[in-house]
Structure 1
Amino acid sequence: MITLPSGARVLLASQPVDFRKGAHALAALAAEVLSADPFSGVVLVFRAKRADRIKIVLWDGSGLVLIAKQLEGGAFRWPPVVDGAVRLTPVEFAALFDGIDWTRVQSAKRIPTPSVPA
């Protein structure tokens, strides 16, 4: 289980990528195709042609981290294959990483900050 801070930005690349690519090649792909800065702390999630494998790339402040996961006997739930990226909340990402249908997960609603009456 990977836990992300509540304010983390998660970008899910909807196009399948060549899974022979490593962390630096995926970071370059994110910069070129997704217009995302891979060194800004954004969590980048990539899929294989078969929806049973994902690779996650993130910058931890000292280097690129590459995480790979393959589901046994199942597939990750992906949005339709189109150009670009889909932004996920940390809660949706946790569901995706666990192999759960992330489209059915809802984040906690933001509670407005109280203000002093004028």
Structure 2
Amino acid sequence: MIFPDQAPRIVIAPKPVDFRNDHDGLASVAQAELSFAQNAGVMLVFWSKRGDRSKSCSD
């Protein structure tokens, strides 16, 4: 098991996203709309437009 030095930051995206995006597409959404750098050390949680699924993206 791997234990991080500090607690990870988990951020929930404020708007739903198109789930046809892959992880690179979600990372670009995080950079453009949420102003997160690629190596910010956060885990982003996105949800679908219907609100019934979630997908996470971390660096």
Partner of 2:21: 21
List aligned pairs for 1:69-108, cutoff 5 A.
Answer: none
Q: Secondary structure at the match of 1:10?
A: strand
RMSD: 1.7
User: What amino acid is aligned across from residue 29 of structure 2 in structure 1?
Assistant: L
Number of residues paired by the alignment? 56
After the TM superposition, which segments of 4 or more aligned residues of structure 1 sit over 2 Å from their partners? none
Q: CA deviation at 1:46?
A: 0.5
Q: With the length of structure 2 as denominator, give the TM-score of the two structures.
A: 0.82
Instruction: Among all aligned residue pairs of Structure 1 and Structure 2, give the percentage whose two residues are the same amino acid.
Output: 41
Structure 2 residue 25 is the aligned partner of structure 1 residue 33? no
Q: CA deviation at 1:39?
A: 2.0
Q: 1:18–1:48: 8 Å Cα contact kept in structure 2? A: yes
Partner of 2:48: 48
Gaps of 5+ in 1: 60-118
- The separation in 2 between residues aligned to 1:54 and 1:9, in whole angstroms, is 17
Q: Which has the higher contact order (CA 8 A, sep 6+)?
A: 2
Gaps of 5+ in 2: none
Q: With the length of structure 1 as denominator, give the TM-score of the two structures.
A: 0.43
Q: Which has the larger radius of gyration?
A: 1
- The separation in 2 between residues aligned to 1:52 and 1:7, in whole angstroms, is 27
Q: Secondary structure at the match of 1:15?
A: coil
Q: 1:16–1:48: 8 Å Cα contact kept in structure 2? A: yes
